[in-house]
């Protein structure tokens, strides 16, 4: 609707410069400049490389988003930016740019939480969020279970990773198997022709009574299994290893998510973050949700990975809720807790 706020969102928490423009919950532009190729030769994201890439990409990416949305700077009603969590240097680039645009355009600034934005973005595809819902966020840096009464006002942490996040484990196992970085898509592809029950890899913390996650032991188990086979001269069927590892990860993620739904009597589960693009996670989550009578919401893959649209959407929710804008003094907080939706 024309009377809804036009919000520009800036996302620079890791290696992708994401600029999104929304009007209310209508997506007008979602433009991304990724520095992934620059990190691939290092086997992981290099913070300084990411920060410099954001500096170079910021202006042209914003200009491309404005052109794609068919709007001008003068049309923007508010600026939203990821204030944390994420890589400190990368966050600083986005926050500094957002402050400059806010001041220059004379529009309010909203510093938002990266994880809460991953929850909010689903509204662009599936409409308003159920209140409450359970959110499972899985990415390279985070594996979190959240109770979300209202994404613009209150997000409650139920559990998180105690060591490696799911996406991080995918990257490390991919390296062991000789697959490229980032590992998630390549393991997903390899697993299609593999047997997920071929190898009994461990399920960390699966029935420990908490909603925390641990994937470090699983990652190590895969590495030791591969090392043992290599030492004995046995062949390694990469698809079976990939499928068995992937099955262990998604088994834990979906089981704990459904346990949370049952404990809190919530009938809607949302899955977000980069690992939510994994085909097996989506399939097993749907299967288990159907059996449990839980409605599943998962954004399309392009909205699961880091993007500016999710930041703009949460910013739009904050504007609509009448939340006071952020100060131009807000910091970039690399360890911003999920309970802080708006800085």
Residue 140: the pLDDT is 79
Residue 237: the pLDDT is 97
Residue 36: the pLDDT is 66
Q: Under DSSP, is residue 215 helix (H, G, I), strand (E, B) or coil?
A: coil
Binding-site residue ranges for Fe cation: 114, 118, 306
DSSP letter at 213? B
DSSP 10-25: EE-SSSEEEEEEEETT
Q: Domains of the chain: which residue ranges?
A: 6-121+307-320, 130-298
pLDDT in tens, 54-70: 999 999 999 999 999 99
pLDDT in tens, 262-271: 999 999 999 9
What mean pLDDT, rounded, does the chain reach? 95
Residue 341 has pLDDT above 80, yes or no: yes
Residue 141: the pLDDT is 82
Residue 2: the pLDDT is 62
- CATH architecture observed for domain 130-298: 2-Layer Sandwich (3.30)
Q: Under DSSP, is residue 240 helix (H, G, I), strand (E, B) or coil?
A: helix
Higher pLDDT, 37 or 18: 18
pLDDT in tens, 151-167: 999 999 999 999 999 99
pLDDT band of residue 9 (cuts 50, 70, 90) is: very high
Binding-site residue ranges for substrate: 137-141, 171, 184, 188, 278
Mean pLDDT of 247-270: 98
- Residue 248 near residue 218, CB atoms below 8 Å: yes
Q: Under DSSP, is residue 142 helix (H, G, I), strand (E, B) or coil?
A: coil
Residue 1 has pLDDT above 60, yes or no: no
Residue 224 has pLDDT above 90, yes or no: yes
Q: Which of 29-38, 116-125, 215-224 has the lowest mean pLDDT?
A: 29-38
| Residue percentage of the chain with pLDDT more than 90 | 91
Residue 24: the pLDDT is 96
Binding-site residue ranges: 114, 118, 137-141, 171, 184, 188, 278, 306
Residue 39 has pLDDT above 80, yes or no: no
pLDDT in tens, 68-121: 999 999 999 999 999 999 999 999 999 999 999 999 999 999 999 999 999 999
- Residue 7 near residue 152, CB atoms below 8 Å: no
Matching fold, domains 6-121+307-320 and 130-298:
yes
Mean pLDDT of 164-176: 94
Residue 183 has pLDDT above 70, yes or no: yes
pLDDT in tens, 270-298: 999 999 999 999 999 999 999 999 999 99
Distance CA 247, CA 171 (A): 15
Assigned CATH topology for domain 6-121+307-320: Nucleotidyltransferase; domain 5 (3.30.420)
- In 43-117, DSSP assigns E strands to 78-84, 109-113
Burial (CB count <10 Å: 0-12, 13-18, 19+), residue 232 = exposed
Distance CA 253, CA 244 (A): 14
């Amino acid at each position: 609707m024309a009377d809804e706020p036009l919000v520009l969102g800036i996302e620079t928490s890791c290696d992708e410069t994401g600029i999104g423009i929304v009007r209310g919950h209508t997506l007008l532009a979602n433009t991304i400049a990724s520095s992934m190729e620059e990190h691939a030769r290092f086997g992981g994201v290099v913070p300084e490389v990411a920060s410099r890439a954001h500096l170079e990409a910021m202006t042209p990416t914003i200009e491309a988003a404005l052109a794609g949305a068919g709007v001008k700077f003068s049309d923007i009603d508010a600026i939203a930016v990821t204030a944390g969590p994420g890589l400190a240097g990368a966050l600083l680039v986005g926050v500094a740019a957002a402050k400059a645009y806010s001041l220059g355009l004379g529009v309010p600034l909203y510093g938002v939480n990266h994880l809460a934005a991953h929850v909010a973005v689903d509204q662009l595809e599936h409409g308003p969020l159920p209140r409450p819902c359970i959110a499972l966020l899985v990415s390279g840096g985070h594996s979190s279970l959240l109770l979300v009464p209202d994404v613009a006002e209150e997000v409650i942490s139920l559990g998180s990773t105690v060591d490696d996040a799911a996406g991080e484990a995918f990257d490390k196992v991919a390296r062991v198997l000789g697959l490229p970085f980032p590992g998630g898509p390549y393991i997903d592809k390899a697993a299609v022709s593999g047997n997920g029950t071929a190898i009994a890899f461990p399920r960390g913390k699966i029935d420990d009574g908490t909603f925390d996650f641990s994937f470090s032991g699983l990652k190590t188990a895969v590495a030791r299994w591969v090392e043992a086979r290599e030492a004995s001269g046995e062949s390694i069927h990469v698809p079976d290893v990939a499928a068995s590892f992937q099955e262990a990860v998604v088994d834990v993620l979906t089981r704990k998510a459904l346990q949370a739904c049952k404990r809190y009597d919530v009938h809607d589960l949302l899955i977000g973050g980069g690992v939510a693009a994994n085909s097996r996670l989506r399939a097993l989550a749907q299967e288990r949700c159907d059996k449990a009578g839980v409605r599943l919401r998962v954004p399309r893959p392009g909205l699961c990975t880091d993007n500016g649209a999710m930041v703009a959407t949460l910013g739009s929710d904050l504007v609509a809720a009448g939340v006071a804008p952020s100060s131009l003094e807000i910091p970039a907080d690399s360890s911003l807790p999920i309970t802080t939706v708006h800085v």
